[in-house]
């Protein structure tokens, strides 16, 4: 990942509704949610939610797929993984002992 893509992803998450949207989609993996359902759960107007979803999609954090009349949105976990690895690539100067607690926290809980 390059700096510009990381900056785009981080700036997309630096807004409350988008951060809430991304976290909601992570909780609903792998099934995802329809745009209307996301808007309903977060109490956001649908046109506003569409704009937020577009920003998250362009940032590489959300992907969409059409199912008949609905568009289902999912967290792009590969995008999240790439962003996390970008941020942690030079973690602790390569000292595994210093990074161990951080790595343990990042281990999947499910």
Give the tens place of pLDDT for each residue, 42-82.
Answer: 999 999 999 999 999 999 999 999 988 889 999 999 999 89
Are the CB atoms for 20 and 57 separated by under 8 Å? no
pLDDT higher than 70, residue 110: no
pLDDT at 109: 60
Q: How many domains does the chain have?
A: 1
Q: Domain range spanning residue 66? A: 3-106
**CATH label of the domain that carries residue 81:** 1.10.10.10
């Amino acid at each position: 990942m390059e700096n510009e893509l990381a900056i785009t992803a981080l700036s997309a998450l630096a807004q409350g509704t988008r951060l809430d949207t991304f976290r909601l989609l992570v909780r609903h993996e792998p099934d995802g949610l329809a745009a209307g359902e996301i808007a309903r759960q977060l109490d956001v107007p649908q046109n506003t939610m569409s704009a937020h979803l577009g920003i998250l999609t362009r940032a590489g954090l959300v992907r969409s797929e059409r199912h008949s009349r609905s568009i289902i949105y999912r967290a792009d976990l590969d995008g999240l993984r790439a962003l996390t690895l970008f941020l942690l690539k030079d973690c602790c100067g390569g000292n595994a002992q210093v990074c161990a607690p951080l790595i343990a926290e990042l281990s999947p809980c499910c």
